[in-house]
């Protein structure tokens, strides 16, 4: 065989294999009400479909060699992680800085309403640019990427040569994939509920190995959302 034949990707020594899972579908916002708030963030629970998506994630991943589980500080990631945690016999660790983007004045479900109505200048600007900083009082994209990438850096330091599964949020998925690739977050908007994403983390470089894998979900995909367009 020629020594010049192509080879497969090899995980560098000391790297962390990081599997990101977006939480399952969450409850809708009742008319005239707001979500419960936890640590300043809206904290909706999973729907019945969301729990079924979580079960599908557990069925997909439980046969893999997993060394540690992480969740954010919001309830929906704990609920999504529960089926896998039970199957592999692990208690997830909570990493607060993997929580969803802070939405400022539009927390607790207000953002959903504003994006649906699309009359506020901040909502229009966000839809055109996918820049969270247009939301009044919210984190910017740069702030979200800094917070979440630092959290992943800590996970890497704690788990070299290990496989970690972290249950996170759609905005976090976009932030971390954009950080890995040096691209804009809008290129990774729209992660599906229960989707799986694979990264390899080293001291010097991050590798994005796959994005939005939903093969395990079958007919359990959440209904399509209104399409976000960009400038």
pLDDT digits (tens, 9 = 90+) for 68-115: 999 999 999 999 999 999 999 999 999 999 999 999 999 998 998 898
Is residue 128 within a helix (H) or strand (E), and if so which, with residue range? helix 121-129
Confidence band (pLDDT; 50, 70, 90) for 230?
Answer: very low
**So where are the chain's domains?**
16-220
Q: Say how many residues make up the chain.
A: 231
Q: What is the DSSP string of 22-86?
A: EPPPB----TT----EETTEE-PPB-HHHHHHHHHHHHHHTTS---EEEE-SSHHHHHHHHHHHH
Sign of CA dihedral 230, 29, 107, 153: negative
pLDDT value, residue 34: 87
pLDDT value, residue 226: 56
What average pLDDT does the structure give for the chain? Answer: 94
Among 169, 179, 167, 172, which residue's Cα sits nearest to residue 205? 179
pLDDT for 7 beyond 50:
yes
Q: Residue 212: left if φ>0, alpha if ψ -120 to 50, beta else—which one?
A: left
pLDDT value, residue 16: 98
Question: Which is more confidently placed, 213 or 224?
Answer: 213
> Quick one: DSSP state of residue 169?
-
pLDDT for 194 beyond 70:
yes
Which residues, at least 6 apart from 200, have a Cβ–Cβ distance to it below 8 Å?
Answer: 11, 12, 15, 16, 17, 18, 206, 207, 209
Task: Please give the model's pTM, rounded to 2 decimal places.
Answer: 0.93
pLDDT value, residue 224: 83
pLDDT for 143 beyond 80:
yes
Q: For the domain 16-220, what is the CATH code?
A: 3.40.50.1240
Confidence band (pLDDT; 50, 70, 90) for 30?
Answer: confident
Give the mean pLDDT of 136-151: 97
pLDDT for 138 beyond 50:
yes
Q: How far apart are CA 62 and CA 84, in angstroms?
A: 6
pLDDT value, residue 1: 54
Give the mean pLDDT of 128-151: 96
């Amino acid at each position: 065989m020629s020594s010049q034949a192509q080879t497969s990707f090899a995980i560098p020594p000391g790297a962390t294999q990081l599997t990101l899972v977006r939480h399952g579908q969450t409850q809708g916002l009742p008319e005239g009400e707001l979500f419960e708030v936890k640590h300043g963030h809206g904290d909706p629970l999973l729907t019945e479909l969301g729990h079924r998506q979580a079960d599908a994630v557990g069925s997909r991943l439980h046969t893999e060699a997993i060394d540690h589980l992480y969740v954010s500080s919001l309830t929906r990631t704990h609920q999504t992680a529960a089926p896998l945690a039970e199957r592999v016999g692990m208690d997830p660790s909570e990493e607060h800085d993997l929580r969803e983007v802070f939405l400022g004045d539009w927390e607790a479900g207000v953002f959903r309403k504003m994006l649906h109505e699309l009359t506020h200048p901040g909502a229009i600007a966000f839809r055109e640019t996918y820049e969270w900083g247009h939301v009044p009082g919210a984190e910017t994209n740069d702030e979200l990427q800094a917070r979440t990438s630092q959290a992943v850096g800590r996970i890497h330091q704690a788990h070299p040569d290990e496989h970690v599964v972290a249950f996170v949020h759609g905005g976090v998925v976009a932030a971390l994939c954009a950080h890995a690739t040096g691209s804009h977050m809008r290129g990774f908007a729209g992660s599906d509920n229960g989707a799986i994403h694979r990264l390899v983390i080293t001291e010097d470089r991050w590798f994005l190995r796959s994005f939005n894998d939903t093969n395990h979900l079958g007919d359990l995909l959440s209904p399509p959302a209104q399409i976000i367009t960009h400038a």
